[in-house]
Amino acid sequence: MDKNLFVGREYEIRQLEKYRDSKESEFIIVYGRRRVGKTFLIKEFFDDKYDFKVTGLYKKPKKMQLKNFYLALLEYGANIKKVPTDWLEAFAELKKLLKGVKENRKKIVFIDELPWLDTRQSEFLSAFEAFWNGWGAQQNDLMLIVCGSATTWITNKILSDKGGLFNRAARRLYLMPFTLQETEKYLVSRGIHWSRYDIVECYMTMGGIPYYLKLLDNSLSYLANIDTLFFKRNGPLWDEFDHLYETLFGSSKAYLKVIEALATKKSGLTRKEILQETKLDDNGMLTEMLKNLKDSQFVRAYNTFGYGEKNVVYQLADYFTLFYLRFVKGKQNPDEHFWTHYLDNPAKSSWAGQTFEQVCKDHISQVKKAMGISALLTDISSWRGESESGKAQIDLVIDRRDRVTNICEIKFSMSEFAIDQDYEDKLRKKIQIFREANKSRNALQLSMITTYGVKQNAHSGIVQSQVRMDDLFVASE
């Protein structure tokens, strides 16, 4: 393995090294959002050398899946004359193949896109359980690694399974998207040297997803790259949205109703509001969909300050989805230089301001570090409410155990952010409404999170702590 190929993933690499060197068999689940780099991590860690590897086929029947498994067995030297008739037979042949490996080392088995093998009425999972529980777990030299982009299947069928695999999946590696710091390092490694302002904007269009970042051309500007990827006819990401949701959620129409409803409300929606917007039935289906969307990290669930879990707000948190729904969907004959031409459009500024709030929430560890409160236990929430003084909304509330509450205002601008008299009055009123509505006895501190800081003037004294864009690029605690 060439560690120079990796940006981030230090923890995952250390864990894989530990599992490889252990004195017992290991069952390892590597999962996370589609395009986040699961297969790449395993491929590079093991130098693409396995005792057996197979990749599930998307939306193919049991017969074809078994033939694919059979061909993989042949590739790795199995002496098998015909395609197995069922999965029990297929895993029996895999066991026979592995028993024939005489080298004194861990035997490496990698099953990629495992959920795709579990076709309807295939009994795949039962055979897989029998293979691991009945034989694999009893060995001391097997490393069984499975991957899957269908996070909901992984969660429901393995991690939350109460049957044959209960407590068997002891090793879990959930791959997160890159942070801003990791994104910057990755871009530099590919010869892309952009300003941090442009890196943040790029992050707001596609998130820290390695596959998307790999598509960027180091000979083009940030704006030109977005035009090429999203708006050029047949661009690499023009039809990514449909593939993304179909492969993750199968029958995706109901999911898309929820996603599109959330996309219209930057602060998010409660479950009741989602039902009103989507006209879906009020039953367990919506609960299951919201759980699946959270597990896949497309949706963030936030408690409303002061309500605990009684008034959970669901917020669309996937940058690619937010960008696609706002600017790409429905454009049949797009301007191939749309993003460059849209530079000064107020709608773009509105999107940037809203999405920068998401970036800050995804870097809350860095925000706390910049505030000097990393060691403090905190509750992170949002708030919207009213008092006799009026209505207000706060997108980020940091409630601290030292009896201080940070009311965070988040602004994305191309220069220092200037507070004028009118905005200062609005801030004071917002704090007043929050205090009255919550009857808060904590000290309330106004914190500004901006790109280049708050300009010092007659009105900036209202700000008690600041976090700047550069602070979001440090390593997390």
DSSP one-letter string for 308-350: TTTTEEEEE--HHHHHIIIIITT-SS--TTHHHHTTT-HHHHH
Residue 247 domain-assigned (yes or no): no
CA torsion sign for 348, 350, 352, 355 is negative
Q: Please tell me the distance from the alpha carbon of residue 295 to that of residue 288, in angstroms, as a whole number.
A: 10
Asked if 142 contacts 136 with a C-beta cutoff of 8 angstroms, the reply is: yes
pLDDT tens-place string over residues 343-391: 889 989 999 999 999 999 999 999 999 999 999 999 998 888 889 999 9
Mapped onto helix, strand or coil, the DSSP state of residue 72 is: helix
Q: Please tell me the distance from the alpha carbon of residue 113 to that of residue 48, in angstroms, as a whole number.
A: 16
Residues 190 and 55 in one domain: no
pLDDT at residue 113 greater than cutoff 70: yes
Residues 346 and 378 in one domain: no
Residues 20 and 153 in one domain: yes
Tokens 């969907």 appear where?
Answer: 329
Asked if 227 contacts 339 with a C-beta cutoff of 8 angstroms, the reply is: yes
- The residue type found at 377 is L
Residues 149 and 201 in one domain: no
Tokens 């530099």 appear where?
Answer: 188
Residue 245 domain-assigned (yes or no): no
Q: What is the pLDDT of residue 219?
A: 97
Residues 306 and 168 in one domain: no
Residue 386 domain-assigned (yes or no): yes
CATH number at residue 294: 1.10.10.10
Residues 21 and 72 in one domain: yes
Query: Which pTM was predicted?
Result: 0.91
Of 152, 175, 198, the last residue of a domain is: 175
Residue 189 domain-assigned (yes or no): yes
Of 303, 337, 356, the last residue of a domain is: 356
Residue 249 domain-assigned (yes or no): no
Residue 108 domain-assigned (yes or no): yes
Q: What is the pLDDT of residue 164?
A: 60
Where are the extended beta strands (E) located within 255-389? 269-270, 299-303, 312-316, 378-387
CA torsion sign for 349, 350, 353, 358 is negative
CATH number at residue 142: 3.40.50.300
Residues 137 and 87 in one domain: yes
Q: What is the pLDDT of residue 477?
A: 64
pLDDT at residue 269 greater than cutoff 80: yes
CATH number at residue 401: 3.40.1350.10
Residues 283 and 334 in one domain: no
Q: What is the pLDDT of residue 406?
A: 96
Beta 312-316 vs 269-270: how paired, if at all?
antiparallel
Residue 25 domain-assigned (yes or no): yes
Residues 155 and 288 in one domain: no
Mean pLDDT calculated for residue range 56-70: 96
Least confident range of 19-33, 117-131, 157-171, 203-217: 157-171
Residue 97 domain-assigned (yes or no): yes
Residues 160 and 200 in one domain: no
Print the domain residue range for 345: 180-240+328-356
Beta 52-55 vs 107-112: how paired, if at all?
parallel
What are the distances in angstroms from CA 73 to CA 48, 69, 94, 385? 16, 6, 7, 61
Residues 216 and 300 in one domain: no
Q: Which helix (H) or strand (E) holds 9?
A: none
pLDDT tens-place string over residues 412-424: 999 999 999 999 9
Residues 10 and 77 in one domain: yes
- What band does 244 get if pLDDT is binned at 50, 70 and 90? confident
Q: What is the pLDDT of residue 126?
A: 93
Q: What is the pLDDT of residue 365?
A: 96
Helix 284-295 with 271-278: angle, nearest 10 deg: 110
- What band does 162 get if pLDDT is binned at 50, 70 and 90? low
Q: Please tell me the distance from the alpha carbon of residue 384 to that of residue 304, in angstroms, as a whole number.
A: 7
- Provide the number of structural domains found in the chain: 4
- Sheet containing 404-411: give its strands across: 378-387, 390-400, 404-411, 443-450, 465-468
Average pLDDT, rounded, for the chain: 91
